[in-house]
Structure formats: structure tokens, C-alpha cells
Amino acid sequence: MKNHFLISLISIISFFIPSDEKIKVTWTNFQGEEIEDIYGIGSKIYFYEAQKLVKLEFRNKRGELIPERKLTSFYPAEFRYTYDSHGNYISREAYNQSGELMNLDGYYDSAILKFKYNAQNQLVERQTLDKDGRLLEMGDSKIAVKKYDYDKSGHLISVTNYDGTGNVLPDIVKYSYRPDGKLDKSTYLNLSNEVITEIDMDYNEQGLLSGYMQVYPENNDVYTLQFSYVDSIFTALNVHLNKSGNVRAEKRGVKIGLAGWFMEDSLLLNSRFQYYGEGEFQLTIEHDGKIKDLEPIELKAPIEFEQEVYELFRNLELKREEQIANPDSVGKVVVSILEPFPTLESLKFVKKPKPND
């Protein structure tokens, strides 16, 4: 569980967006020739309906859906996604080249994911199932079901894990909140109700999350994470201190390098989807501040990271710096995603004051 909040495929890929309904990501070499990765994937195609992802295809460089492997299948030929009448994401199913449900290994693992919501459209249960619809225990954790509980104010107050037979598993998580509704503390408990680790949140004068401290009582290890918000940049500095006095630090965050523009919109983070990774993207912006293209340059991330980044940025708009007559139309985005906290709904990017302000 150490570094629980910081989990960090280097690929050369091209990013093609023909319309709002389809996104194609193609693997290429330095000569621009289409290639395949070690799993036989040459491209991924994302299909949208009503601005929601409904299908993700994995194809080889010849454009064929990738076949199911006999020994291990880390990726399907396609994923299909469904939503309820309120727009809530309720299922993800893996299919092989023949259109049959298939079991997976590795990162995705289960053939089927199912999500349930309450009357307030809050996620209350997540299930992992095999291709026959039976509960599937995931890896070493043995988690088959996650259940989420909320208080009367709508705050997430606990997450409990269960195995395939309904037994409660360790790592029960409980959350407490400040009077203003912001997350105050996360506590991880074992089955004996003993504290495994505890995380205390800290906020600055503007009410933005400024960091947290994570303590492991068993060995007195302490992790601290500090955030800063300046010049269209959200950065985080993670510092690990153990009882031997060793220190390890690393930065995480989002940076937009585009002269003549700044961001003041909130960046929404959906806590239901937890993708991790880091990478650089080329950003093209239209004259009205809308993001036109986002093309990956280098990625160090699990699959779907670039899609998650695209989802984060697709509806954002940048604001013009009035003092700059000819702002750039192409720039760079450096991204490193942090796991969302239950009530960390937005990160506000603010303009850095100029020296003469």
C-alpha cells in the first residue's frame, strides 16, 4: 500500500481525431511506418455516442481485430461500455475477435465490470465478473466486490472490499470531513479494526488542497505531499521519510506550456476511473481558446492513459493573455495524473501575477 496515491509503454504513436465520434491512436516508428507492440496491437479506436465512450477496439497494423491468445490475453479485441438513463457508466465487457465474451489476464483482468448507483447517482457497488457472469476475485487482493457508503450530505464515508463468497477483506477505508465538506482524513483498517495507515489532508487559505501526510503506525514511515498552484501549473511534491532518515521525492501534476494563454477553468477529476501515468502531449488550440488536438509525444503509462488525459482536456478552454498580441497556437502539455480523492472535484489553475502587478 505504500505510495498508494502515486502509481506511475513508452510508445511512439500518432493521434488522429477525424470527428467527435471516433478517435484513432496508431503506433508508428520514427519513419512514420505503422508497427505493432508486443501484444500485437497497432492501433486503438475509440467510438463515442452522445459524447460517451461506447466501444474501444484493439487492431493490428493490418487493421484487423487482434486475436485471442491461447495462453494469456492481456487485451481483448474490443471493450463495450454501457450507461443507464442518467448517464452513469454501468458496465464494461471484453469481447474476442469472434464477438464472444472473454476472460482477461493482467491489467484488465476481468471479462466484465459492473457498477451500481443509488438514487442520488452515487456509485455504491463495483463488481468484477468472468465471462460466465460469476464473481471473479482480482489477483492477490482477492477483491470481487467493492461497496461504497455515503452520509446524508452525500460524502463518501467508507469503502469495503469483499471476495467472491461475500467475506469482508482487509483494507477497509473510512473517510471523515471538515465542516466545510472537504475531505479531512482517510483511515485504512484491517479486519481487527486496527489502523494500517492514516492520511491527513491540508488546505491553503484559498481552500485548495495543499498537501497531505500519510503515516504507517507499524513502522513509523511518513509520506508527505505538497501541492502548489501557479502559472497554469498544478504540481505536487511527494516526500517520503522513513525511520532511517532516507528521503525520496518526486513531482506529479499538470503543466500547460502555451505562451499567451492561461487556464482558469476547473479541471474535473472523476474518482470512479483511476488511470495512472505520465507523458508529454502536443497541444493545438483554436483562436477562441478551445483545445483542437492533443497528440501524445511520449508516454510512460498503462493503456488508456492518453484517453483519460484527452477526456480531462477535451472540454476545457484557455483564456487569452491580453498583453500578448500573438499567442502560440501549438504548445506542450506535461501530465502526471494523481489518484483522485473522494471529494477532490476540481483543481483550479490560476494566473501567475506578473512582476509589475
What pLDDT, in 10s, does the model give residues 214-233? 888 888 888 777 766 544 44
User: Residues of the chain with pLDDT > 90: what percent?
Assistant: 27
Judged against a pLDDT cut of 90, whether residue 161 lies above it is answered with yes
- Tell me: pLDDT of 346 over 70: no
Predicted pLDDT at 276:
53
* Residue 244 Cα distances to 220, 222, 247, 351, angstroms: 10, 11, 9, 40
Q: Kindly tell me if the per-residue pLDDT of 170 is higher than 50.
A: yes
Type of residue at 340 = P
Query: Is pLDDT at 185 greater than 80 in this prediction?
Result: yes
Name which of 105, 110, 107, 52 is nearest 81 in CA terms: 52
pLDDT band (50, 70, 90) for residue 300: low
* pTM over the 0.75 mark: no
Question: Contact 333/285 with Cβ under 8 angstroms?
Answer: no
The candidate with the shortest Cα–Cα distance to 221, out of 202, 237, 239, 242, is 242
Residues 42 and 36: beta-carbon distance below 8 Å: yes
Phi-psi region of 288 (alpha: psi -120 to 50; beta: other; left: phi over 0): alpha
Segment 279-298, tens digit of pLDDT = 777 778 877 777 777 777 77
- Name beta bridge partners: 123: 117
What value does the mean pLDDT take over residues 137-145? 82
